[in-house]
Amino acid sequence: MIVVMKADATDGEINRVIETIESLGYRPHVSRGVERCIIGAIGDERGKSRLHSLEALPGVESVVPILKPYKLASKQVKDGPSRYQIDGVEIGGTRIVVVAGPCSVESRDQILETARAVKAAGASMLRGGAFKPRTSPYSFQGLGEEGLKLLQEAKAETGLPIQTEVMAPEDVELVARYADVIQIGARNVQNFKLLRRVGEFDIPVCLKRGLSTTIEELLMAAEYILSEGNQKVILCERGIRTFETATRNTLDLNAVPVLKHETHLPVIVDPSHGTGHWRYVTPMAQAAVAAGADGLLIEVHPRPHEAFSDGAQSLKFDNFVTLMQRVAAVAEAVGRSV
């Protein structure tokens, strides 16, 4: 349910509503808009009829059900786009955030070289996996904490905030010590224990759509994080599995306008995993920005043919420079910048 306060409701009246929601066993979620204050009452669906009594409280205009299965992610609870600061980089505003770097952190030289190159080309954040979800248990699994330390070193030199993946609830604390954005990979989008765990932290989470999750399931996964208290979720479209084999996945750019219509959360697009081929990354990055994405996640490697993972879809430095130029042109055409 959401409680819509009258435009002239006082702080005292708002507080009374908050206290009453709590006393009924629900969690209040306050959103103060320009016009009026909206208070979501989040919790067990079954007893929600009790919340109608809130209508009698002073300052309350109406009590209405949240029609979507996702609550905190819905636009009914928060009007206007969410924006977060990521160590000085804003996501959700007019500037497109480009997160670039290798699929995996492989060595000190590799990550430092890449960090310098993507920074020079205009990227706003550095990506790199230290814990890697690999299809085969015999493939490179990532450097673990050593990889996180190398990312930290790259940040210290370039100033680029870090995005890196966490795969297990017991590693969240460790990864959160190094990361500016925690990435939840496609394969873990419905790992509800992991979602709840990252929800306990006050650090932005980039939640990647699963290989076969619907947009609604992605939003419900986001709801797990939001309902634990972490309001800084970034959604990432990274391609879904279809019958098409010319590309690794089918990048579902429909998801961008759909998500923009359904939620206030920022939306980014990963055309690297979305296509699986470096050649298609730049055109799909341009298309993503044209469709309204707030950011891009791009794999870049100094020598893609030597990469431990995802070399085929990784851009060389010069191709990343071209991507940035082409994306900047599209961004300008849609009233944004990189």
Footprint of ligand PEP on this chain (CB under 6 A)? 103, 129, 133, 185-187, 208, 238, 273
Is the Cβ of residue 59 or residue 271 nearer to ligand PEP in the bound state?
271
Least separation in angstroms between CB 159 and ligand PEP = 22
CB atoms within 10 A of CB 115: 28
Residue 29 contact among ligand PEP, Mn ion, none, beta carbon within 5 to 8 Å by kind: none
Cβ contact 238:267 at 8 Å? no
Least separation in angstroms between CB 337 and ligand PEP = 25
Cβ contact 151:130 at 8 Å? yes
Least separation in angstroms between CB 147 and ligand PEP = 12
Asked if 310 is part of the footprint of Mn ion (rule: CB under 5 A), the reply reads: yes
Is the Cβ of residue 21 or residue 184 nearer to ligand PEP in the bound state?
184
Is the Cβ of residue 78 or residue 208 nearer to ligand PEP in the bound state?
208
Site for Mn ion in 101-160 (CB under 5 A): 103
Residue 238 contact among ligand PEP, Mn ion, none, beta carbon within 5 to 8 Å by kind: ligand PEP
Phi, psi of 118 (to 5 degrees): -70, -30
Give the list of residues 6+ apart from residue 81 with CB closer than 8 angstroms, or none. Answer: 92, 264, 266
| Tokens 């709801």, located at residue | 223
**What character string, x for contact with Mn ion (CB under 5 A) and - otherwise, covers 56-95?**
----------------------------------------
Cβ contact 20:50 at 8 Å? no
The separation between the first and the last C-alpha atoms of the chain, rounded to the nearest angstrom, is 38
Is the Cβ of residue 207 or residue 328 nearer to Mn ion in the bound state?
207
Residue 311 contact among ligand PEP, Mn ion, none, beta carbon within 5 to 8 Å by kind: none
Is the Cβ of residue 31 or residue 104 nearer to Mn ion in the bound state?
104
Is the Cβ of residue 121 or residue 186 nearer to Mn ion in the bound state?
186
Residue 294 contact among Mn ion, ligand PEP, none, beta carbon within 5 to 8 Å by kind: none
Give the list of residues 6+ apart from residue 3 with CB closer than 8 angstroms, or none. Answer: 17, 21, 38, 39, 40, 41, 51, 54, 60, 62, 63
265, with CB counted inside 10 A (0-12, 13-18, 19+), is: buried
Residue 270, SS3 per DSSP: coil
